[in-house]
Structure 1
Amino acid sequence: MHPLLTLAIAAATIAALITLGYAGLCWVSPFTTCQRCAGTGRTTTRVLRRPRACRRCDRGMPLRLGRRVFNFFHRLRAEATR
């Protein structure tokens, strides 16, 4: 077997495992903690350090990117088959 072919197969296998692992994570745990507010749903203003609602997540637990992509394609397929 050619060494470059072996390397390509190994790289494709690793990429497939990472992709399937992330897809499984999005299925089991579709929400993640917000990086800006650390999951509290509250941030502070820059000037007076007053607490306010986080504009990025609204509740502290936004959907993962992979789950948003899955939901988009799921809705697209559901609308196409009606």
Structure 2
Amino acid sequence: MTNPATTVIRVNLEMAKEVAQEWERASYQELSAYCLEILKEIGFSTTELPENLQSREQQLNFITGFASYAFGEVLNVQTIS
């Protein structure tokens, strides 16, 4: 049996872009520290950034993605079969 309701997350890209623009002015150390804070917030107990978050571009993308999710609006949408 399929679940008749599906959870959909609509992200707020405008707010996420604003966050990204603010962080573009940050130093590499500030970006790294914030990425570590985000990782801790979502349950990772690490003191070093993973391999896929070593570059400034990767870190900015991660922060923007997290902001998109954080500012998202969760909706329950009824699906019709």
Give TM-score scaled by structure 2 length.
0.25
Q: Which has the higher contact order (CA 8 A, sep 6+)?
A: 2
Q: Tell me which protein shows more strand as a share of its residues.
A: 2
